A = this chain, B = another copy of it.
Amino acid sequence: MDLESKLSEIGKNLRSSLIRELLKYASVPGSISFGGGVPDPETFPRHELAEIAKEVIEKDYKYTLQYNTTEGDDELAKQMVKLLEKAYGITGIERENLLFTTGSQQALDLIARIFLDKDSICIAEFPVYLGAASAFRINFPKFETIPLQDDGMDVDYLEKKLKELDEKGLVNQVKFIYTVPTFHNPAGVTMSLEKRKRLIELAEKYDILILEDDPYGMLRFEGENLPSLYKLAGPDRVVLLNTFSKILTPGLRLGIIIGRADIVRKATLAKQAADLCSPSLNQRIAARYLERYDLFEQLKPGIELYRKKKNTMIKALEENFSDIPGAKWVNPQGGLFVWMTLPEGFDTMDMFEIAKEKKIYYIPGQAFTVDDSVSTSMRLSFCLPPEEKIIEGVKRLKEVVVEYGKKKGLI
């Protein structure tokens, strides 16, 4: 059978996530990876989770080993309502405002399915979280990308773009503005309060939904908490995506859609067709964990660990790259990523061949574009390697940059 002739348009167009492909190299012995946005397993409360898992299988087996509702575990929902209030000051959440998903990737996929058609326009940041881009792309929308600045999305540019779309009669086709306002993946930047307010004003003006993705909000090392877009504008304007992957463990694959009841209902129906329900077991483990332990206390050592690793990476970058004019990097206040940009002419995807030889891995900026365009940037994740490996890895990276730069006559 000739597969190609049988595939759907989606099937024909599917391509591998660059990250998932590049991560395969990271297991080569002797390699140092700044690649994956993978939490340090030492931050997982494994003893507590192990006990809880045993207990909820033994005692609640009629629930934990059985099918779940599509909406997910009501006990986890109760805990989530408390967590949202404690972590973000978000109140007024009812059961019907919550849907638990198989990781936040599924949340992105479900939202994309219920909103995006071929003639839809999807506004996203540049660079963009590539998991979101791949979920959106499945539906073949048009993308409009808004550049990021040190204090988040360039809202002036957004305003200009929306005005343009409005003048062309296209603004109704904009289904949502997708943003990671806090500790952006990959760019590390955080949207200022002023910009948050302007973004909401623009969304109100043109009646556009904001899709706020916040996997890292609770991982702040320094600086002051800023209110989430959802907190500022409410469910009529914002759908908030959250996940347990970065604050508890990715192994449970638990994401959450928080939004207006009718939107959550549509996402729930889409989930019925997509996977019926997420595992009862995983949801109940998380529920019991939140019930018994103070997540904020548990997070503290992990945040401290990430803060140290981040500082180590920034220091190493300063030590190694100050003699490369034009090389710069974002110093993030939280999250897992440093975004580094090399001088004009560098192509971090092309440079990856040398990185492979030197066994140092990063994610080329090209992975975070909607159209695979060449990028001078790269994402460096500091969360997984120990500090001495971060120092050694940045040294190797310098060698890679120098070798590539010389080869191409750039430095």
Interface contact A276-B3, CB-CB below 8 Å: no
Partner of A120 from the list B8, B38, B46, B209 (CB cut-off 8 Å) is B8
Inter-chain contacts of A70 with B (CB < 8 A): 20
User: Interface SS of chain A: helix, strand, loop or mixed?
Assistant: helix
Interface contact B251-A280, CB-CB below 8 Å: yes
Inter-chain contacts of A281 with B (CB < 8 A): 53, 251-252, 282
* Most chain B beta-carbon neighbours within 10 Å: one of A36, A172, A237, A253: A253
Inter-chain contacts of A58 with B (CB < 8 A): 46-47, 50
Number of A residues with CB within 8 Å of any CB on chain B: 85
Interface contact A10-B207, CB-CB below 8 Å: no
Interface contact A116-B8, CB-CB below 8 Å: yes
Closest residue of chain B to A107 (Cβ to Cβ) is B275
- With A8-B117, A10-B113, A250-B67 given, is the CB distance from A138 to B105 under 8 Å? no
Inter-chain contacts of A50 with B (CB < 8 A): 53-55, 57-58, 61
Closest residue of chain B to A263 (Cβ to Cβ) is B3
Inter-chain contacts of A280 with B (CB < 8 A): 251
Q: Does A114 contact B (CB under 8 A)?
A: yes
Interface contact B8-A275, CB-CB below 8 Å: no
Q: Does A345 contact B (CB under 8 A)?
A: no
Inter-chain contacts of A65 with B (CB < 8 A): 41, 44, 46, 49, 249-252
Inter-chain contacts of A273 with B (CB < 8 A): 14, 105, 109, 134-135, 137-138
Partner of A38 from the list B67, B266, B275 (CB cut-off 8 Å) is B67
Interface contact A113-B138, CB-CB below 8 Å: yes
Inter-chain contacts of A276 with B (CB < 8 A): 103, 105, 131, 253
Q: Does A373 contact B (CB under 8 A)?
A: no
Interface contact B41-A66, CB-CB below 8 Å: yes
Interface contact A275-B275, CB-CB below 8 Å: yes
Closest residue of chain B to A131 (Cβ to Cβ) is B276
Nearest Cβ in chain B — how far from A69, in angstroms? 8
Interface contact A275-B1, CB-CB below 8 Å: no
Inter-chain contacts of A262 with B (CB < 8 A): 3
Inter-chain contacts of A109 with B (CB < 8 A): 273-275
Inter-chain contacts of A64 with B (CB < 8 A): 251
Distance, CA A109 to CA B62, complexed state (A)? 27
Nearest Cβ in chain B — how far from A66, in angstroms? 6
Inter-chain contacts of A14 with B (CB < 8 A): 114, 266, 269-270, 273
Q: Does A91 contact B (CB under 8 A)?
A: no
Q: Does A307 contact B (CB under 8 A)?
A: no
Within 8 A of B (CB), among A236-284: 236-237, 245, 249-253, 260, 262-263, 266, 269-270, 272-282
Q: Does A344 contact B (CB under 8 A)?
A: no
Inter-chain contacts of A44 with B (CB < 8 A): 61, 65
Q: 1/0 per position for A99-113, CB-CB distance to B under 8 A?
A: 001110110010001
Within 8 A of B (CB), among A31-74: 36, 38-39, 41, 44, 46-47, 49-51, 53-55, 57-58, 61-62, 64-70
Closest residue of chain B to A101 (Cβ to Cβ) is B275
Distance, CA A16 to CA B116, complexed state (A)? 20
* Most chain B beta-carbon neighbours within 10 Å: one of A175, A275, A277: A275
Nearest Cβ in chain B — how far from A35, in angstroms? 12
Distance, CA A66 to CA B49, complexed state (A)? 13
- With A3-B262, A54-B54, A61-B46 given, is the CB distance from A106 to B251 under 8 Å? no
Q: List 20 A-B contacts (CB under 8 A).
A: A1-B207, A1-B237, A3-B266, A6-B115, A8-B139, A10-B113, A11-B113, A11-B115, A14-B269, A14-B273, A16-B272, A20-B69, A39-B66, A44-B61, A46-B61, A65-B249, A102-B279, A103-B276, A134-B273, A251-B279
